[in-house]
């Protein structure tokens, strides 16, 4: 847990969020500024700054996150039609919250290109 991290504070319940899914390792909540009809952030409860900070010691957070993404897709109704998962890694890629998180986007027909 990092005291000044907004996602750690959401995990602790200090800041409200619209929770979509939670288990012992992962929390998922609606993005406050959605870029698509479905826009959920899937966040490991362990504070890890970014994908670049993954290492042998903490890599085990990734598998439960991917399982949680499947659950979120089911819960939000986009599992069948498809969805996009984005991880911004570092400020140069637009990461604004330095706690590893996966954007799950869907509910709209998406183009084939990322950018």
85 binds ligand AMP (CB under 6 A): no
Contacts of 29 (CB under 8 A, 6+ apart): 10, 17, 18, 19, 20, 40, 41, 43
Residue placing its CB nearer to ligand AMP in the complex, 82 or 91: 91
Segments in 1-115 forming alpha helices (H): 6-12, 62-76
Q: Do residues 74 and 40 touch, judged by C-beta distance below 8 A?
A: no
Q: Which does 61 bind (CB under 5 to 8 A by kind): ligand AMP, Zn ion, none?
A: none
Which of the ranges 52-60, 61-69, 72-80, 91-99 carries the binding residues for ligand AMP, by CB under 6 A? 91-99
Binding mask 6-25 for Zn ion (x = CB under 5 A): -xx-----------------
Element (H, E) at 42: strand 38-44
Binding residues for ligand AMP (CB under 6 A)? 6, 15, 17, 29, 31-33, 41, 88, 94-97
């Amino acid at each position: 847990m990092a005291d000044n991290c907004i996602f750690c504070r959401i995990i602790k319940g200090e800041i409200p969020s619209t929770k979509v899914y939670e288990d012992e390792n992962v929390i998922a909540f609606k993005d406050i500024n959605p870029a698509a009809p479905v826009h959920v952030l899937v966040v490991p409860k362990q504070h890890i700054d970014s994908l670049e900070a993954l290492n042998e010691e903490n890599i085990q957070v990734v598998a439960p996150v991917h399982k949680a993404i499947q659950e979120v897709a089911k819960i939000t109704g986009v599992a069948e039609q498809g969805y996009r998962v984005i991880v911004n890694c570092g400020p140069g890629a637009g990461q604004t919250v330095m706690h590893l998180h996966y954007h799950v986007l869907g509910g709209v027909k998406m183009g084939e290109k990322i950018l």
